Amino acid sequence: MKAFLLSMILFAFIPTPCIAFPDAFDCKVLSLNELSHNGSFVTNAKYQTEQIGSTFSVDRKSGEIRGGHFLNNSASESIRVINNDPAIAGFYVISQSHGPGVMISYLFINTYKDENRFSFIYTNSGQYVYTGVCQ
């Protein structure tokens, strides 16, 4: 009986590997472009370069974006996670604001590859296009 208890105690403290998907993606902005009036991207505005390197997280279940410069978790937003199964396709979130000016945002995280880092693209009503990586 003592040997059994000793072995149970030892097994409780031996680390075992486990694989689990995180509850959120942690992302970092690597580039930001703005759609100009002539149809080209503008990439060198001061407020854009200040956002390079900013971070945010995305809740995998609710689609809420927290942190960074583009939050979608206000009470005036409806959020819809289109797909949350990385084995089938990428992770997609569409958000719509309700108010005098309606804004639509779209986030795609490329989870196709079995890696620790996934590329993302985010657009806010088509005016700004953010890209970067998530883990």
Q: Is the pLDDT of residue 22 over 80?
A: no
Whole-angstrom distance, CA of residue 69 vs CA of residue 81: 20
User: What proportion of the chain, given as a percentage, has pLDDT over 90?
Assistant: 27
- pLDDT of amino acid 56: 93
Report pTM: 0.74
Q: Where along the chain do its domains lie?
A: 24-134
Express each pLDDT in 77-113 by its tens digit.
688 888 766 666 789 999 988 777 788 889 999 987 7
d(CA 51, CA 25): 18
